[in-house]
Amino acid sequence: MKNGYKFLDHPADIGIEAIGETVADAFIHSAYGLISVIVDDSTIEPHIPMHIQIDAEDKEHLLVKWLSEILYLYDGKKYLPSKIKINSIDDISLDAEIKGEYFSDSKHKTKTDVKAVTYHQILIQEEKGKCLIRVYLDI
């Protein structure tokens, strides 16, 4: 598993399995997984900071909102995250600092349009010193 995530097969789409020592790490890795579905992530540089604050009703909702936010930053703001740091996270809120840059046709190579983040078979499993996330994307 490279960079803390791997892709999962789905009949029409794609899933991400992310692992981290903490929930925060697993959330970060799932976001890196999403970004690498959208673009060649090796071309993104951490120039411009962005702050994200999310409130949710439960942890699955938080994960879907978190990844939907990353997707919106790209598809709505044309901003690609490169380095992510989660300042604080619990079951219903998350605060993160991101560094990345705005999308440029000449610099970044897009791979796949992601439509949305789904609740399909969503999983956040926490065990001692390990957190496993599974989430599917509609593409």
Partner 1 sequence: MIKKIDEYRYLVPKTSKAGMKIDGLIYANDRLIKQIEKDQTVDQVANVATLPGFVGKSLAMPDAHQGYGFCIGGVAAADIEDGVVSAGGVGFDINCGVRLLRSPFEKKDIISKLDELLNQLFKDIPCGTGRKGKLSAGKSELNKVLQQGVEWAVKNDYGNEEDIYKIEECGKIERADESLVSSRAKERGHDQLGTLGSGNHFLEIQVVAEIYDDIAARCFSLYKDQVVVLIHSGSRGLGHQVCTDYLDVMQSGMKKYKIDVSDRQLASVPIKSIEGQNYLKAMAASANFVFANRQMITHWTRDVFKKIIGSGDLKIVYDICHNIAKFEEHEVDGSLKSLLVHRKGATRAFPKKHPVLPDEYKSVGQPVLIPGSMGTCSYVLVGTENAMKETFGSSCHGAGRSKSRTQAKKETDADELLREMKSRGILVRGETKSGLSEENPNAYKDVSEVVEVVHGAGIAKKVAKLVPLAVMKG
Binding site for partner 1 (CB under 8 A): 7, 9-14, 38, 57, 60-61, 65, 68, 72, 75-77, 103, 110-113, 115-120, 122, 136, 138-139
14-20 and 130-138 strand pairing: antiparallel
Nearer to partner 1, 46 or 116 (CB): 116
Nearer to partner 1, 27 or 79 (CB): 79
Smallest gap from residue 73 Cβ to partner 1 (A): 10
Widest CA span of the chain, in angstroms? Answer: 44
Smallest gap from residue 45 Cβ to partner 1 (A): 18
Nearer to partner 1, 25 or 103 (CB): 103
Smallest gap from residue 20 Cβ to partner 1 (A): 23
Phi-psi region of 72 (alpha: psi -120 to 50; beta: other; left: phi over 0): alpha
Nearer to partner 1, 72 or 92 (CB): 72
Please give the Cα distance from 51 to 81 (Å, whole number). 11
CA distances from 101 to 5, 65, 84, 90, 130 (A): 22, 21, 12, 27, 31
Smallest gap from residue 124 Cβ to partner 1 (A): 13
| Residues 118, 89 contacting (CB under 8 angstroms) | no
